Amino acid sequence: MKIGFDQKKYLEEQSKFILERVNDYDKLYLEFGGKLFNDLHAKRVLPGFDENAKIKLLHKLKEKVEVIICVYAGDIERNKIRGDYGITYDVDVLRLIDDLRAYELDVNSVVITRYDEQPATKIFINKLERRGIKVYKHRATKGYPSDVDAIVSDEGYGKNPFIETTKSIVVVTAPGPGSGKLGTCLSQLYHEHKQGRAAGYSKFETFPVWNVPLKHPLNIAYEAATADLNDINMLDSFHFDAYNKISVNYNRDIETFPVLRRIIERITGEEAVYKSPTDMGVNRVGFGIIDDDVIKEASRQEIIRRYFKTGCEYKKGYIDKETFERVKLLMEELNLKQQDRKVVMPARERSANLKQCSSKNEACPALAIELNDGTILTSKSSDIMDATAAIILNAVKHFANIDDEIHLISPVILEPIINLKSKILGSKKPALDCENVLIALSICAATNPTAKVAMDKLVMLKGCQAHSTTIVSTNDEQTFRKLGIDITSDAEYATESLYYI
Q: What confidence tens digit (pLDDT) does each residue in 211-247 have?
A: 999 999 999 999 999 998 888 999 999 999 999 999 9
Residue 410 has pLDDT above 80, yes or no: yes
Residue 60 is predicted with a pLDDT of: 92
- Our separate counts of H helices and E strands in the chain read 20, 14
Name the pLDDT band for 26 (thresholds 50, 70, 90). confident
Is pLDDT of 34 > 70? yes
pLDDT at position 28, please?
95
CATH architecture of the domain with range 342-489? 3-Layer(aba) Sandwich (3.40)
pTM, rounded to two decimals:
0.91
**Taking the domains of the chain in order of start, what are their residue ranges?**
7-212, 342-489
Name the CATH superfamily, with its identifier, for domain 7-212: dip2346 domain like (3.10.630.10)
Give the 3-state DSSP-derived string for 191-241, with helices as H, strands as E and coil as C.
HHHHCCCCEEEEEECCCCCCCCCCCCHHHHHHHHHCHHHCCCEEECHHHHH
- Partners of 29 in beta bridges: 170, 201
Radius of gyration of the chain, Cα coordinates, nearest whole angstrom: 25
| Mean pLDDT within 317-332 | 95
Indicate the pLDDT class of residue 501, thresholds 50, 70 and 90: low
What percent of the chain lies above the pLDDT cut of 70? 98
Beta-bridge partner residues of 30: 171, 202
pLDDT per residue over 267-319, tens digit each? 998 888 899 999 999 899 999 999 999 999 999 999 999 999 999 999 999 89
CA distance 347 to 360: 19
**How many Cβ atoms from other residues are within 10 Å of residue 139's Cβ?**
14
Q: What is the pLDDT of residue 22?
A: 86
Confidence of residue 423 (pLDDT cuts 50, 70, 90): confident
Residue 86, pLDDT score:
79
CB 240 within 8 A of CB 59: no
Average pLDDT over residues 416-425: 84
Q: Would you place residue 364 in the very low, low, confident or very high pLDDT band (cuts 50, 70, 90)?
A: confident
- pLDDT band for position 359 (50/70/90)? low
User: How does pLDDT run across 117-176, given as a tens digit for each residue?
Assistant: 999 999 999 999 999 999 999 999 998 888 999 999 999 999 999 999 999 999 999 998
User: Does residue 472 come out as left (phi exceeding 0), alpha (psi in the -120 to 50 range) or beta?
Assistant: beta
Q: Is 360 helix (H, G, I), strand (E, B) or coil?
A: coil
Query: Mean of the pLDDT values across residues 65-80?
Result: 96
Sequential DSSP letters for 234-291? EE-HHHHHHHS---EEEHHHHHHHHHHHHHHHHHHSS--S-SSHHHHB---GGGGB--
Q: How far apart are CA 226 and CA 245, in angstroms?
A: 26
How much is the pLDDT for 148? 93
* Peptide bond just before 346 cis, omega within 30 deg: no
End-to-end CA separation in angstroms for the chain: 35
Q: What is the pLDDT of residue 368?
A: 98
CA 91 to chain centre: 15
Which pLDDT band, with edges at 50, 70 and 90, does 193 fall under?
Answer: very high
HSE-up of residue 342 (Cα within 13 Å, Cβ side): 13
Give the orientation angle of helix 449-456 with respect to helix 387-400, to 10 degrees.
100
b or e along 243-272 (b: 16 or more beta carbons within 10 Å of the residue's beta carbon)?
eeeebbbbebbbeebeebbebbebbbeeeb
Say how far apart CA 396 and CA 387 lie, in whole Å: 14
Per-residue pLDDT at 357:
65
